[in-house]
Amino acid sequence: MSNLKEILINKNICKSVWFMRQAGRYLPEFKNIRQQNQDFIQLCLDSKLSTEITLQPIKRFDIDSAIIFSDILLVPYALGQSVNFVQDTGPKLEKFDYYKFLNNDKNLFNQKLKPVYDAIRKTREKLNKNKSLIAFIGAPWTLLVYMLDMKLKKNEIDHNKIKLKVEQINLILDNLTKFLIIHIENQINSGANVIQIFDSWAGFIKDEDFENYCINPNLKIVDFCKSKNIPVICFPKGIGKKYKRFNEVVKSHGLNIDYEVDPGWAKANLKNVVIQGGLDPRVLLKPEKEMFDRAKKYLDTFKNSPYVFNLGHGLLPETDPVKVERLIKFYREHQ
């Protein structure tokens, strides 16, 4: 097993494995907790249970890194926008209040998210010191999509909600970035030693807005992490060939590719970065031979490169934990 922080900082040709959404919805031990805690936001804010959930995949699989059980929408929640998770629909936020948002207080923000920081401290105390503890945020653009209710369908967003409000949107993004950096610093101070930035809706940004809404906000946050000597992984999902431009400008330590990016293209075009992930989480629902064959493609492609074995998105709720265990075993035997 390899320390994720060391791989990201030093770009050593060694390997590590963890999975996005490894702590949560597919594990029976998590489902037992979830059944007794219907309010998802409050579950994330229960530091005792959050710690327990974070450590569940470590105990089950002895996976190389832990990622704190939390949610990207805790930041809008802490900034005064209520969040509800609707079954079969997803998160719904109350109507955005521009002036209320601009008048947020740092101390109140910190107080609301204190349980997250407590969970990180508790997890760090219980976690093997050789394992990295990953904390995360949603990128400003992705949070904006939820905060302004821009999502129309699974693969469509309403650009009209920002089209004629460029100055206002820029101010929102700047303010969001400020609070996201506060959240990152608090998580680092609590014991996290790797940060991941999820820009899940980056692929829906129009080409003419890509610099302003994706590259520039991510760059500010990455530069802050670098100033704290904390490695940072970016995941601008769905941006295709623009991964190359993103990598050249943002220069994060790690770059998570999604399952639509060909690993051969990634190796040839994404330089001076530790590549992470890529494997389609749906392959864990396939027969084992197909799952292993698809995994082998990534492992062979990045055999002589620093690479973190992960997915091109999070583990699906219907995933069998036994398949996860066998995939980890296959990965370790392949090294």
pLDDT tens-digit readout, 264-286: 999 999 999 999 999 999 999 99
Scanning the structure block, which residue is given the tokens 């969040």?
83
Closest CA to 62 of 22, 116, 8: 22
Strand bridging mode 156-157 / 151-153: antiparallel
HSE, CB side, 13 Å, CA atoms: give it for residue 34.
14
pLDDT for 289-298, tens place per residue? 999 999 999 9
pLDDT for 217-253, tens place per residue? 999 999 999 999 999 999 999 999 999 999 999 999 9
Q: What average pLDDT does the segment 183-191 reach? A: 98
DSSP secondary structure letter of residue 279: B
Kindly state the helix (H) or strand (E) to which residue 308 belongs, with its residue range: strand 307-309
Q: Return mean pLDDT, the chain.
A: 95
Burial of residue 42, with CB atoms counted within 10 A of its CB: 0-12 exposed, 13-18 middle, 19 or more buried = exposed
Amino acid at 176: L
Count of all residues that appear for the chain in the document: 335
What's the CA gap between 171 and 92, in Å, rounded? 23
In the structure, what pLDDT confidence band is assigned to residue 15 with cuts at 50, 70 and 90?
confident
Distances (CA, A) of 300 to 59, 169, 266, 305, 309: 28, 43, 13, 10, 11
Q: How is residue 330 written in tokens?
A: 């296959």
Q: What are phi and psi of 15, to 5 degrees?
A: -120, 160
CB proximity list for 79: less than 8 A, separation 6 or greater: 101, 104, 109, 179
Write down the domain spans for the chain. Answer: 4-334
Q: How is residue 224 written in tokens?
A: 């802050």
Q: How is residue 191 written in tokens?
A: 């014991």
pLDDT for 117-160, tens place per residue? 999 999 999 999 999 999 999 999 999 999 999 988 777 888 88
> Does the 4-334 domain belong in CATH 3.20.20.210?
yes
CB distance 218 to 197 below 8 Å: yes
What's the CA gap between 29 and 294, in Å, rounded? 28
CB proximity list for 70: less than 8 A, separation 6 or greater: 44, 50, 116, 119, 135, 136
Q: How many angstroms from the chain centroid is the CA of residue 62?
A: 20
**pLDDT greater than 80 at residue 74:** yes
- What confidence score (pLDDT) does residue 275 get? 97
What's the CA gap between 243 and 239, in Å, rounded? 6
- What confidence score (pLDDT) does residue 1 get? 47
- What confidence score (pLDDT) does residue 155 get? 78
Helix/strand/coil percent split, the chain, to 5:
50, 15, 35
Distances (CA, A) of 315 to 21, 26, 56, 321: 5, 7, 14, 10
Bridge partners, 279 (sequence order): 311
DSSP secondary structure letter of residue 207: G
Q: How is residue 267 written in tokens?
A: 């190796």
